[in-house]
Structure formats: C-alpha cells, structure tokens
A = this chain, B = another copy of it.
C-alpha cells in the first residue's frame, strides 16, 4: 500500500495548502476532546498569544448591561498555556447531554476552533458545536436508524411574485413506498431562514430518531423561508454571498402569512401528501410562532395541529394587514373548528414570557383548549430542539 501512502501525502500537500501544521511537521490537535465521563478538553495552538479564552453555552452565564437592559450571555474562562504553545481548558464537571456551542477568544479576538470543522450559523454568527450524547441529546445525533431525505427545493409563490427556496424532509422509505404522508410545516425565527431548523434545529436527526423509535409518525417536514422579501438563505439567492441581516423588510407585516397557501399548494402538488386538515401541522419558533398563530387562524380549515414555540406574540397596531385584523373573531372561528392540538411552549426566562402569558389568558377566558409546556431558560435553540422533540410525537395520532 506504500504507493497509496505517497499519493495520499501528495494529495494532502495539494488540498491542505492552508493547513500549515502539515508543513511544519506538527500533528493536528484534537479539540474538543470528549472524555468518557463527559468532561471536555479544548485545545488551541497559539504560541504567540498572551491570553486565550473560551466562551460557550456550557459555561456559567454572566450578566451584561446594555442601553437596552441587562442580559445574560455565555460565560468566558481562560485557557492555560502548556507545552509547544498549546493552550488548554478542561471543564471542571462533566457536561450534561446537549448540543453545545463555543468559540475561542485570542487576545480579545473571537475565533473558531481550527481543530473542529463543525460550525453552525445562527443568523450572522458561526460558532463551533459539539454534542454530549445521552438522554434527549441522543435525538440530536445521527444514529444507525433509517434516514429520511433532506432536499433543498425551489417553489413558485404567485402571491409574492418570486421563486423561493425551502428545505423538505421526507421520511425514510418515502421514495418507493407509494404511501401518502402528513405534512408538518416548521417555521424559523427572525434573522433565520430555510436553513435554520435543519442545522441548529437538528430536525432531520430528531425526526429520524423519533420515527425509528416509533414515537413519532412518519411525516414530511417543510421548512420555509419566512422572510417575505427574500428568495433564499444568504448565499443561496441571486443576491450572492451577502452578509446576513437581522432586520429584513417584510417579516411580520402579513405578507408571509398571506402567501402561505402557495407553499401548501406546492407541497400538495409535488409530494404524496394527505391533502386535508387532518394531515397538516404548523409550528414555529419566535417570529415563526407568530406566523404559525396568524396563519393557522387565517386559514382555519388548513391545520389540525398548531405549535407556538417561544412565540413572538406582540401587539402590532402599527402594521396594517388584513391578516392581523379581528384576532379574537378569527380565534373564535379557529377554535370552533376544534383543532386536535394547540400547543404553546416557552422558557421561564424568555423575554416573551409575559406576552405568552397574556395570550394564554385570552385563550383561557374564551375556554379555548390548548396544551402548555414550560421549560427553564429563555429564547435559545436548546429550548426549540426540546419543543420540536416534544411536539412531533403528538402529531397525526
């Protein structure tokens, strides 16, 4: 096999022109290194650095004051310099099962871990990720179970007058079994796009695992782009490789909700679906929860299962759209048609907690039936993965 070792070495030189460790004859570092007891060691080779720190959502949170109020952000700890300029930090305690994010800070400059190729984008920020398995976090892992197909597909929206991109999960077996499947429409939050749920949300892994365990029915999951001015995620439209923006036009002013039947029509035409209310669910996080609330009441015969995950339920009196008119009347119509599930979830420290509490009061006062699920912490992806893995098993039963 010697010839192949030479080939591999030659190819390595070609493909790894940036990987200078190879040139210097220094082996690559392993980081993060997850020990059997779930403590984690992080390493960075930075011989010239004066100070190396790590920030991550596994560290105790710290409070920061800003003109907009006090916020909790992930803590920061120092790494210790060891041999050959390699800095290290080991978590003092084993980490609980979860998908975690982190970055290094080298002399004040935030950077990704060069030893870890796994990065996830949250709006405009890329952070390294790793998974500590066990418990619920096993749902976030790729396991040896039948895998669904994940497609990026473009649809025409006559209402918005554009071609738009979406992400579609079809369950294992879909291609050849000839069966019809129910459809779960899953909506992202502000700053997100059709990539958010499949990357940070681990939708494909959660659904593969829940379906394999018999806990969720096989279903199609449709992840749309809820920014009505946008054709596709950053880099995926003719705008090119633009920086992502938190403040897009046409996100919560009715356009997306009005155009949503275009999505349902496209899916019903292009996939083997159950083409009625009993075969449709809709849920969303934050802005997507707001969209799910308004879409489901605007089209009360369309969805039998509704999920509001940390929903951005806000009065919006400055926005003029027929979508937002007569909230109470539309809710009355929707609940008179008895949806099988109206599910509201939020974290205790979410800045939208009070708004959700008010909305639940409105439902209570009218005797509208819903299920409430409360978690610790706030407006974070950890909670949205939990909500997805709790909500999906309740659908289409």
A interface residues, Cβ below 8 angstroms from B: 1-5, 7-20, 23, 28, 30, 45-50, 55, 57, 64, 66, 68, 71, 73-74, 101, 103, 106-112, 114-119, 121-127, 129-131, 133, 141-144, 146-147, 149-154, 163, 165, 172, 175-176, 189-191, 232, 234-238, 240-241, 243-244, 246-247, 251-252, 269-270, 286-287, 312, 314-316, 318-319, 351, 378-380
- Could you tell me the distance between the alpha carbons of A315 and B6 in the complex, rounded to whole angstroms? 12
Q: A110-B20, A131-B241, A241-B118 are in contact. Are A149 and B147 (CB under 8 A)?
A: no
A103 contact from B11, B18, B101, B127, Cβ within 8 A: B18
Q: A7-B190, A8-B247, A246-B11 are in contact. Are A18 and B131 (CB under 8 A)?
A: no
- Could you tell me the distance between the alpha carbons of A131 and B241 in the complex, rounded to whole angstroms? 8
- Could you tell me the distance between the alpha carbons of A17 and B62 in the complex, rounded to whole angstroms? 11
Closest to A24 in B: B66
Q: Are the C-beta atoms of B3 and A315 separated by less than 8 Å?
A: yes
Q: Are the C-beta atoms of B117 and A121 separated by less than 8 Å?
A: yes
Q: Are the C-beta atoms of A147 and B163 separated by less than 8 Å?
A: yes
Q: Are the C-beta atoms of B101 and A110 separated by less than 8 Å?
A: no
Which residues from chain B contact A243 at a C-beta distance below 8 Å?
28, 30, 115-117
- Could you tell me the distance between the alpha carbons of A314 and B8 in the complex, rounded to whole angstroms? 12
Which residues from chain B contact A131 at a C-beta distance below 8 Å?
240-241
Closest to A47 in B: B108
Q: Are the C-beta atoms of A378 and B14 separated by less than 8 Å?
A: yes
Q: Is the interface of A mostly helix, strand, loop or mixed?
A: loop
Which residues from chain B contact A3 at a C-beta distance below 8 Å?
314-316, 318
Q: Are the C-beta atoms of A110 and B117 separated by less than 8 Å?
A: no
Q: Are the C-beta atoms of A142 and B240 separated by less than 8 Å?
A: yes
Q: Are the C-beta atoms of B126 and A119 separated by less than 8 Å?
A: yes
Copies assembled: 2
Closest to A48 in B: B107
- Pairs A–B under 8 Å by Cβ, sample size 15: A10-B351, A11-B286, A11-B312, A13-B68, A16-B125, A17-B71, A49-B107, A111-B111, A111-B112, A117-B121, A118-B241, A142-B237, A147-B165, A149-B152, A151-B152
Q: Are the C-beta atoms of A101 and B18 separated by less than 8 Å?
A: yes
- With both chains docked as a complex, state the minimum distance between the C-beta of A200 and any C-beta of chain B, in angstroms: 10
A23 contact from B66, B112, B238, B241, Cβ within 8 A: B66
Q: A18-B101, A142-B238 are in contact. Are A8 and B109 (CB under 8 A)?
A: no
Closest to A145 in B: B238
Q: Are the C-beta atoms of A18 and B110 separated by less than 8 Å?
A: yes
Closest to A127 in B: B18
Which residues from chain B contact A73 at a C-beta distance below 8 Å?
17, 23
Q: Are the C-beta atoms of B176 and A124 separated by less than 8 Å?
A: no
Q: A126-B119, A165-B147, A314-B7 are in contact. Are A112 and B112 (CB under 8 A)?
A: yes
Closest to A111 in B: B111
Closest 10 CB pairs of A and B: A151-B151, A111-B111, A48-B107, A14-B379, A147-B154, A149-B153, A17-B73, A175-B270, A144-B238, A118-B241
Closest to A6 in B: B68
- Could you tell me the distance between the alpha carbons of A19 and B240 in the complex, rounded to whole angstroms? 23
Which residues from chain B contact A28 at a C-beta distance below 8 Å?
124, 243
- Could you tell me the distance between the alpha carbons of A119 and B111 in the complex, rounded to whole angstroms? 13
Q: Are the C-beta atoms of A124 and B16 separated by less than 8 Å?
A: yes
Q: Are the C-beta atoms of A191 and B15 separated by less than 8 Å?
A: yes
Which residues from chain B contact A111 at a C-beta distance below 8 Å?
106, 109, 111-112, 114
Which residues from chain B contact A115 at a C-beta distance below 8 Å?
243
Q: Are the C-beta atoms of A318 and B16 separated by less than 8 Å?
A: no
